[in-house]
A and B are shown apart, each in its own frame.
Chain A
Amino acid sequence: MERDQRRVESARGSQGSARKGGGMSVSALKHFSLIAVGVVMIYPLLWMVSASLKPETMIFSSPSLLPLDEDGNFALNLDSYVEGWTMQGGDFGKYLLNSFIIVALCIIGNLMSCTMAAYGFSRLMWRGRNISFAIMMMTLMLPGFVLIVPQYIMWSQLGLVGTILPIVVPKFVAVDAFFVFMMVQFFRGIPRELDEAAAIDGAGYWRTFTRILLPIATPAIATTAIFTFIWSWNDFFSQLLYLNRDSMTATVALSNFVDATGSSQWGQLFAMSVVTIVPVFLVFLVGQRFLIQGIATTGLK
């Protein structure tokens, strides 16, 4: 159906340009400017990748995207990656592993807690549901930053600062209202007849939830997982706040390198920056469809 719609749209598009007359050149011009904008936008990222592959001395000698060595020949220089990996006596492999552990736990937590809450909000009748839903919608608007001080105090009194728990535990108690809301919207779109049919067949709430609703909600689940990946990977603030030398993630390590090295060793900084961006980029490539659907329907960032 979506494909049909697209066909209709493209038919309309070609009609439109034919009507204008000389539509070819207009559309060529449009493509030209769109590509130009795209190049300007992506150039810094490409430049960073290329700079990470140049010898340190060549990084700032030309804005060229081709990694060239001192003699002007094309050469991929991996020194920055090798040296950056152990920069400041650290171990980037460990930091990456820490990042992946945190992200994986955040995804599991969000998927479990947000789908359950969404089921409660969209399918069950209980006292206090409306007021709870209103509270959930309000927290949707609340910048998390406002709560950081008392939350920090709480975790520090529990003796958990330095561990990954202050970052991971909130995900298991459905604090990300965005995802609860998105799931509620999705569940509301699923016909209730399916639940009722399951109930007639003797399925309880849990069975209906896990066997009927969750399988249908795969797109929303994928969107939640992908966004959680990207957000918790990039979530610098809480990682900076709560993690210590042993539990620190790749992004925190990167920021420490910046502070420690000041304005030197840019090659290594860029190399490790690229390393921290690659997982996000890969998830973007694989999950693009869900990301774009997700933002389009709920207005996530």
Chain B
Amino acid sequence: MARTRQPVSPRQKRQERAAIAFMLPWFIGAVGITLGPMVASLYLSFTEYNLLTAPQWVGFDNYVAMANDPNVAKSLAVTFSYVLIGTPINLVIALAVAMALNRGLRGLNFYRSVYYLPSLLGGSVAVGVLWRRIFGSDGLVNQFLGLLGIESDTSWVANPDSALWTLILLHAWTFGSAMVIFLAGLRQVPEELHEAASLDGAGATRKFWHVTLPLLTPILFFNLVLGIINSFTTFTQAYIVSGGTGAPAKSTLFYALYLYQQAFGTRHAMGYASALAWLLFLIVGLLTAVNFWASRKWVHYAS
């Protein structure tokens, strides 16, 4: 940062001008689509606004209302359960499968493709439709349970105790993208380290905990942060599986879904929804910060 101000050369001037041209779309986007709306939503979160009449300043009313809104507490609980259960399951499966696939396994590319495919489709409406059906009362899951001699006619998506679990399972089903990142990371672990550990008499388990895992922690950390952010904004599957309501008994009322209902449902409570959005932003920001802080303790960066 100790760059001293030099007289601007014509070449530099030319470069500045070129930069403006190249960066212009990005500047417009950053101001018009990202930063501007962010500031606007902060302002709106202190107003009452239904798109029809001008925003009315209400101070902290929206935030107070949120604190007293049982649906906010419920949707936070649903979302946190989903994030705290779903993300670790997803990552553990991804890591386990990546370990199994590593090291010159024959057919590696085939397996990788098969496992990766659900990640591409997991967020689609089509898979939401499929999920709703698979876990229905006469769906695939119950048919298989029947084959195993367990008679069941529960509709897993209509039962408040299990509906969220079907979505967590869907999240686990899409472990492929994290797996691919782990596979790339495992390639970077030098074979020599494993050999050295073997010479020292370390077994497979010890090698995993003391060699492989520490070297993978940066990737694990990266996946964790990304996974948490993505999970917090889960919308499509909750919307499709519950028909946009968060049913049954609000058990799939994800935070994003509730925000959607407030902003774009009949009420058009744009001010309240903005306050909800800011809380989401603060939570995600805080979790990311905590993650970064904690990462100093457990993430191992090879120098």
Contact = CB atoms under 8 A, between A and B. Distances in A.
Interface string B269-303: 01001100110110010001000000000000000
A231 to B, nearest CB: 9
Given A147-B277, A152-B264, A42 B235 contact: no
B181 A255 contact: no
A209 B225 CA distance: 34
B94 to A, nearest CB: 12
Interface stretch (B11-19, B68-76, B81-89, B207-215): B11-19
A6 B116 CA distance: 21
Contacts of B183: 296
A270 B28 CA distance: 41
Contact of B274 (A13, A149, A297): A149
A116 interface: yes
Given A175-B34, A273-B129, A258 B240 contact: yes
B25 A143 contact: no
A152 B280 contact: no
Contacts of B37: 147, 150-151, 154
A95 B240 CA distance: 18
A296 B176 CA distance: 11
Interface stretch (A71-79, A100-108, A134-142, A214-222): A134-142
A38 B104 contact: no
By size class, the interface of chain A is 35 or more
Contacts of B230: 143, 301
A61 to B, nearest CB: 9
Interface in A259-286: 259, 263, 266, 269-270, 273-274, 276-277, 280-281, 284
Interface of A: 6, 9-14, 16, 27, 30-31, 33-34, 37-38, 41-45, 47-48, 60, 62-63, 112-113, 116-117, 119-121, 124-127, 129, 132, 135-136, 139, 141-154, 156, 170, 172-175, 180, 204-206, 209, 230, 234, 236-237, 240-241, 251-252, 254-255, 258-259, 263, 266, 269-270, 273-274, 276-277, 280-281, 284, 288, 291-292, 295-297, 299-301
Interface of B: 12, 15-16, 18-20, 22-23, 25-26, 28-30, 32-38, 40-41, 44, 49, 51, 97, 100-101, 103-107, 111-121, 123-134, 136, 138-140, 143-144, 147, 173, 177, 180-181, 183-184, 191, 222-223, 225-226, 229-230, 232-233, 235-236, 239-240, 243-244, 256, 259-260, 263-264, 270, 273-274, 277-278, 280-281, 284, 288
